[in-house]
A and B are shown apart, each in its own frame.
Chain A
Amino acid sequence: MQGVLDVFLQTFTLVPLVLAIYISYEVMKITDLTVEGSFVLGAAVYARLIIEAINPVLTFFIAILAGLMAGIVVGCIQRHDKIDSLIAGILMIFMLYSINLQIMGSPNLTTYNHETMLTYISYAFADNAGFIFAAFYTLFCIVMVSILLNIQLGLRIRAYGDNKHLLYRLGCNPEKYRIIGLAFSNALAAGSGALTCQIYGFTDINMGFGIALTAIAAWLLGVQTMRKMFRFKNFSVKIDCMACLLGALLYYSAVTFLLKIGVNPINLKLLIGLLLVVLLKIMSNKKRKPWEINS
């Protein structure tokens, strides 16, 4: 039972990040790797301010705000596509590495003995405070993303990903939607980082290493599975959010399964890679000929 709860806990901490990747990668069609930096940024800001004994709720909010700022900065760097989004993201990761070290003051910080939001929750639910908080926060993120993509602002962000030029001709400024979208995406990533720090009680400068790829893998895994299950053709926020949740769950189930059967942790990533390849192969449409258009 505890094992299952752990898998869900890990899933919930990753889901906001998968949603961040979903917004930049799928909705806006921007390859934005900045989330890898802003994930650590959120955790760093959170840990630092908790150690400074600032109100945990406020701290969490500030951590998310820091991610938002990172998103705005990367949006400005990419402005008018003068710098490719991939390069802009990589440069941002470099810069954020130094910034994160400055914020943290040391390569890692622990928040075990300090008062966090979990301390409040544990008064009511002693055992599973982390789990409950993570579940609520994930739900909150999913609701926020659903609301965002259902209002006119969200429609325009989607339109940005589809056809910037036409958006410009309709009298909207595409750069505005790029910045709003990236800010939202990076805020989600920072929230995920802060949540991770809160639950595991520590922050490490390298905790974001490869996390963007993990999130992309989880998103692809989720969306492939959902497509297989529902055969949906139109855009649907609900199904996409479900895909994020399912993808993260499948990913961590695979990790836990491999560790449970006694795989050497050194080979873990190799085996996860292989397992995901097999999983995606099984789920892909076998009858489809390679020259047919995938639909």
Chain B
Amino acid sequence: MLTKRENLMETIKGGNPDRFVNQYEFLDIILEAPLKTSPKRGEIVTNEWGITFNWPDNQIGAFPVHDDKHRVLKDITRWKEVVKAPSVEYPDERWRAAIDHATSVDRRDRFVTAFVAPGIFEMTHHLMGMEDAMMNLYEEPDCMHELIDYLADYEIRYARQYIDRIHPDALFHHDDLGGQIASFLSPAMFKEFFLEPYRRVYGFWKDNGVELIVHHSDSYAANMVSFMIEMGIDIWQGVMTTNNTPDLIKQYGGQITFMGEVDSGKVDAPDWKPEIIAEHVRKACERCGKHYFIPCLTQGLHFSSFPGVYESATEAINRMSRESF
């Protein structure tokens, strides 16, 4: 039996996998690394960028707060006065838990994986709100280019610190590029503002030992796949069924792999049922096949919002592997 890492490589290269890659099994994501302060459920925190996040008890995640009192960037033309990237020089003790975790991983079996969130596009709207972030791309393009480059430079500084200490094999990077049925930006706008900065960032990780870039976007983003390939993304995690994934696999398989197709919104609920999850997993595997595809809940990271759903999906994928290989 192939190791998880070997099986992943066979899957993404179109070789001979001996089972479906099972969700995130091939990635050992080092979540202990210092990154930014985030709220726990029920908390409101202001992070190192000055962005305030609220995680109400009855929600499945945190939201940035953008009322007048809390919005960091109200006038994009003054971004240099207002946006201050935090230092990436963390003391050694902040890295200890992450280093210990990475050291414990058998790299023949799994990829030691860095985690970065939020991404560059997300940071623009975390700082100034969704509407301003998008309108400023039209109204103040030069300032937006400057800000985006500043954010990319920060990511590269952070990457350098991370690579020096952890020597990751893979990167799992979060940046939602759309909603469920459409991308937020036109392809032309994404290309103009975000393609080159992301090529720089992902290129830096790859030039420094990272073998695999996994980009999370649980959305529609079929119109961005050619850019994902240019940016250096190896796996798009979060691909929803709205993307017509089988067609994407036909068109782009061999250049990029698609991870998802089990829409979390349809199966991850308080009253979840294993038979419903199994049905979605079966459809995903039968539609998408054994190459350039990894069945997975579309939610980011290796857990579900409601207990048991992730594990149930894992079991269903194992059953599909026994049937199909």
Genuine A/B complex: no
Listed in ascending order, the chain A residues whose CB lies under 8 Å from chain B are: none
